[in-house]
């Protein structure tokens, strides 16, 4: 309401306050608020000077924006398969993915489980590569003593409504590098130069700004972040308690020393289901009024990616195996324990039915 009563609905004091608060929270020198995590990832590619034909190593098990941002600058995504348990990029495969055209790495903290950034940073430093950290799903997560978003050349957060912290639409770019920050701050505001006139544009720019209305919402959310994360963790524990005794379903592995920031609650059905069985479970849940989805569809199998990069089924078997059997269950901060009970009961019913059908088909 303070913003709405003010003369600054955009580029005002609440925006700068939110940026400073996010920089302080992550221990970073610079924070630039943007209108989406996708925009933030694109700005990172611009600031790091990605050129046509340059390669960036990343994961095929992610939201498509982590690949699109490379393609926006005509770079080439170079996928590596995921770890079977954490569902993050398999670090053992990084070395084989490096070519003379490799410029950087774009690890994704999938579903709020952070990658081993110390290992990734050491790998990159040895080879002169930069690291862009996609922490869009992982605000507040820790890998040992390292906060997600705090250990990279550039880190990107996202605040879409399904995220732990939301501004409706929005995101944040974090860096400690003055030059990178200057380029991103200019590029996100139509290429304007600092202290130059409103109609002065020093570079190709974009309208990637966040409004003060969104920033004010973000400030309120940030002040409650610990509470929000605790509530989401409690919902996840309720699910864990009810599903842990069933051998046909498993969750994402959280390594020792890692604190997961719960973004979604995704489970993987066992191999007896396959994709057909998983789809039957999804259909059965929806018939019972339970919102659900598969999560993710492998990026390398998206139609336009297949056409552009020539990728196909079988290229990344672990990603494909996991993706064929994932089920995202209802998940939000204020989900009630009785509602979790209902979802889990429906999942057990539909899973039993799907397993019987799959067994009969075999």
User: Which pLDDT does position 248 carry in this prediction?
Assistant: 96
- The chain-wide mean pLDDT, for the chain, equals 96
User: Which pLDDT does position 107 carry in this prediction?
Assistant: 98
3-state secondary structure the chain: CCCCCCCCCECCHHHHHHHHHHHHHHCCCEEEEECCHHHHHHHHHHHCCCCCCCEEEECCCCCCHHHHHHHHCCCEEEECCECCCCCCECHHHHHHHCCCCEEEEECECHHHCCCCHHHHHHHHHHHCCEEEEECCCCCCCEECCEECCCCCCEEEEECCCCCCCCCCCCEEEEECCHHHHHHHHHHCECCECCCCCCCCECCCCCECECEHHHHHHHHHHHHCHHHHHHHHHHHHHHHHHHHCCCCCEEECCCCCCEECCCCCEEEEECCCCHHHHHHHHHHHHHHCCCCCECCCCCHHHCHHHHHHHCCCCCCCHHHHHHHCCEEEECCCCCCCHHHHHHHHHHHHHHHHHHHHHHHHHC
Domains along the chain with CATH numbers? 13-223 (3.40.640.10), 225-361 (3.90.1150.10)
Q: Which of 41, 179, 39 is nearest to 107 (CA)?
A: 41
- Cis before 95? omega within 30: no
Low-confidence stretches of the chain (pLDDT beneath 70): 362
User: Which pLDDT does position 41 carry in this prediction?
Assistant: 98
d(CA 244, CA 232): 18
User: Which pLDDT does position 362 carry in this prediction?
Assistant: 67
């Amino acid at each position: 309401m303070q913003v709405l009563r003010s003369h600054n609905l955009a580029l005002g004091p609440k925006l700068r306050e939110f940026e400073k608060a996010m920089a302080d929270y992550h221990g970073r020198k610079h924070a630039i608020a943007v209108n989406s995590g996708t925009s933030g990832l694109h700005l990172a590619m611009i600031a790091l000077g990605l050129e046509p034909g340059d390669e960036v190593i990343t994961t095929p098990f992610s939201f498509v924006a982590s690949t699109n941002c490379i393609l926006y600058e005509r770079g080439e995504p170079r996928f590596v398969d995921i770890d079977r348990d954490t569902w993050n990029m398999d670090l053992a495969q990084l070395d084989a993915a490096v070519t003379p055209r490799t410029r950087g790495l774009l690890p994704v903290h999938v579903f709020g489980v952070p990658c081993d950034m110390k290992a990734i940073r050491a790998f990159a430093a040895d080879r002169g590569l930069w690291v862009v950290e996609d922490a869009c799903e992982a605000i507040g997560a820790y890998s040992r003593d390292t906060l997600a978003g705090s250990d990279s050349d550039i880190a990107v957060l996202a605040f879409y409504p399904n995220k732990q912290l939301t501004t409706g639409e929005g995101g944040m770019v974090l860096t400690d590098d003055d030059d990178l920050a200057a380029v991103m701050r200019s590029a996100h505001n139509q290429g304007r130069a600092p202290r130059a006139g409103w109609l002065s544009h020093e570079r190709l720019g974009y309208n990637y700004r966040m409004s003060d209305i969104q920033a004010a919402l973000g400030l309120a959310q940030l002040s409650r972040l610990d509470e929000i994360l605790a509530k989401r963790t409690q919902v996840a524990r309720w699910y864990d308690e009810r599903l842990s005794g069933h051998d046909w379903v498993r969750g994402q592995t959280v390594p020792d020393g890692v604190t997961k920031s719960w973004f979604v609650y995704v489970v993987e059905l066992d191999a007896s289901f396959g994709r057909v069985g998983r789809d039957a479970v999804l259909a059965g849940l929806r018939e019972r009024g339970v919102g659900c989805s598969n999560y993710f569809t492998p990026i390398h199998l998206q139609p336009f990616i297949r056409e552009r990069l020539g990728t196909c089924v079988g290229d990344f078997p672990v990603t494909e195996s996991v993706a064929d059997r994932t089920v995202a269950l209802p998940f939000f901060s204020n989900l009630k324990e009785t509602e979790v009970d209902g979802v889990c009961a429906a999942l057990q019913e539909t899973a039993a039915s799907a397993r019987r059908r799959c067994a009969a088909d075999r």
